Chain A
């Protein structure tokens, strides 16, 4: 217990710094991936994307980020084994944050596709299995998480395939696609609003002090979705057909879908906030609870709101200081994506990630989005997808896991040497 008593505040301050650093990295790197498709499809400007990301990343983190945070905090490492050595768990969480943060920084510098989720999970498993014992890792949870990494892109791909097919059927394959789009787009907006608020209300709002029944959640979600839909209808009604010399008006239809993409971009930012902020603040929450309770690893006090705020703030800071440049680069490079196909990929990814958040599974937003893009591609909606890049992105977690693990192990022994044990 002595380490916790002697160095408690030092360790907590260090962890806060590392957590903020990690959140900064998520904001600098990951958010750009989540929002870049909207910018690339020219549905929203870079400035709009940043404002949307700031608001909805924060909202996602604060309102729906609790479940995944608790997985990172106490779902992966069995705290019972560490009841006598709480400082080891503190060191481990600190090294996981530092390892994932640094690995993210290196990867960003070289343009490698790494997922923050894979980095932090790799780091946690690494320090726990080597630094403590293989039994300290909750392997069944790890198996579930690994399975979700395979399943989430598949689900996003199937959903985006169906969404895009529905656009074809209900918009493009009609006598008046422009009028059809005006009717159909609000439905998609409702769908996005409903699924996201439903998951949030059923799974996430307890810590904010709202405990809603299932029926209440349905009603309230429908209300939220209706408000979004009405806003969408107003925005759509202001878009008039630009006189077009040719007999078809795809330009006009895409302008309608740009409105939709504004909403799916919000969903995407919300989903990303709900899932990825946990990577930064989960370990911080764990360290905070151990230190504030004087070394009790098993206490189950609710996570203080300031930690969620810190995570959201870190993401916003990373985005504001660096992420917008990555976003701009992605945006200018993606020229082949149209709003009508981009929305399908985004909406599918956003709903998949939010649902994963609801089930407390940390998934990779980037992977899920790539799954969504492939789904649209399979529906013949994208001019060209570089399969080699797809392979690189999906293979990256095979490298990221051991990289995060090795770094975390090094830092773990380093902290152990600095602050001592016992």
Chain B
């Protein structure tokens, strides 16, 4: 039997891979909202509920990962990036999963239905919001390579390009949100007033998801700039 030599414990545990895992779990969770809305448009509530359950599951997974990361990110770890910055990123990533769960909850809870002409608008808005999440995940995937290259050169440019696309996606999401809201005005009087309140709430929350993705990107900029 060989005891683990102390030199082996000198390195790590690196928080990078767990944080990336957390981000990809949050992305998986957010992606699930696309088929979820497709199901609600078809009024296939059992299918929507299955997607909702999957979202809850992934959100729970993300929560567990978040707690593990926090526990392992001890102060005695010497990191190439700010520890607080990393913790902040995890928190924001987690908000993406939480937000997704809230959206699914709001829609399922009231069996919220959207007038058919608005559905493609909402679907587009959701898709572009989630694409921001995917881009944030793609950027986070580069964290190890950023460390390897000492935050220099082409790697930085590469990540900056991803972050630019993320910024553009978030902007797109904003534009589509405005269009959707404008279109919704015409239908407000046909719909149940309380339903309308909740539709606005859902729209807000979807917008929050892309905002959070954007914030993950911004926090990554801080990491790179230090």
Contacts and interface: CB of A to CB of B under 8 A. Distances in A.
B11 A381 contact: no
A331 B158 CA distance: 31
A393 B8 contact: no
Contacts of A110: 3
Given A248-B158, A330-B5, A393-B10, A388 B76 contact: yes
A83 interface: no
Interface string A106-133: 0011111100000000000000000000
Contact of A333 (B11, B76, B80, B145): B11
A245 interface: no
Contacts of B79: 383-384
A388 B144 CA distance: 23
A142 B12 CA distance: 35
Contacts of B11: 40, 333-337, 373, 382-386
Interface string B135-170: 000000000110111111111001000000000000
A15 interface: no
Contacts of A247: 154, 158
Interface in B90-146: 144-145
Contacts of B182: none
B158 to A, nearest CB: 5
Interface stretch (B13-21, B23-31, B198-206, B212-220): B13-21
B189 interface: no
A389 B150 contact: no
B78 interface: yes
A379 B10 contact: no
Interface in A342-368: 366
Residue from A246, A328, A335, A382 having most chain B Cβ neighbours under 10 A: A382
Residue from A175, A250, A369 having most chain B Cβ neighbours under 10 A: A250
Nearest to A385: B78
A33 B5 contact: yes
Interface residues of A, number: 59
B6 interface: yes
B5 A111 contact: yes
A380 B147 contact: yes
B8 A254 contact: no
Contacts of B12: 335-336, 383-384, 386
A384 B77 contact: yes
A173 B3 contact: no
- Interface residues of A: mostly helix, strand, loop or mixed? helix
Residue from A341, A377, A380 having most chain B Cβ neighbours under 10 A: A380
B155 A386 contact: no
A94 B155 CA distance: 57
Given A248-B154, A390-B10, A338 B5 contact: no
Interface residues of B, number: 34
B150 A164 contact: yes
Interface string A316-338: 00000000011011101111111
A155 B148 CA distance: 23
A172 B76 contact: no
B2 interface: yes
Contact of B150 (A33, A172, A329, A337): A172
Contacts of A164: 150
B81 to A, nearest CB: 8
A32 interface: yes
B153 A172 contact: yes
Contacts of A289: none
A342 B79 CA distance: 16
Contacts of A108: 3
A379 B80 CA distance: 8
Contacts of B145: 248, 250
Nearest to B144: A383
B5 A32 contact: yes
B2 A386 contact: no
Contacts of B148: 250, 254, 338, 340-341, 381
A334 B80 contact: no
B43 to A, nearest CB: 41
A383 B147 CA distance: 7
A388 B9 CA distance: 10
Residue from B3, B11, B80, B148 having most chain A Cβ neighbours under 10 A: B11
9 contacts: A36-B8, A113-B7, A167-B150, A168-B149, A248-B154, A333-B4, A336-B11, A341-B148, A386-B78
Interface of B: 2-16, 74, 76-81, 144-145, 147-155, 158
Given A168-B149, A247-B154, A386-B76, 18 more contacts: A40-B11, A109-B3, A110-B3, A111-B5, A164-B150, A172-B155, A173-B152, A335-B12, A336-B14, A370-B10, A377-B78, A379-B150, A382-B11, A383-B12, A383-B15, A384-B12, A384-B78, A386-B10
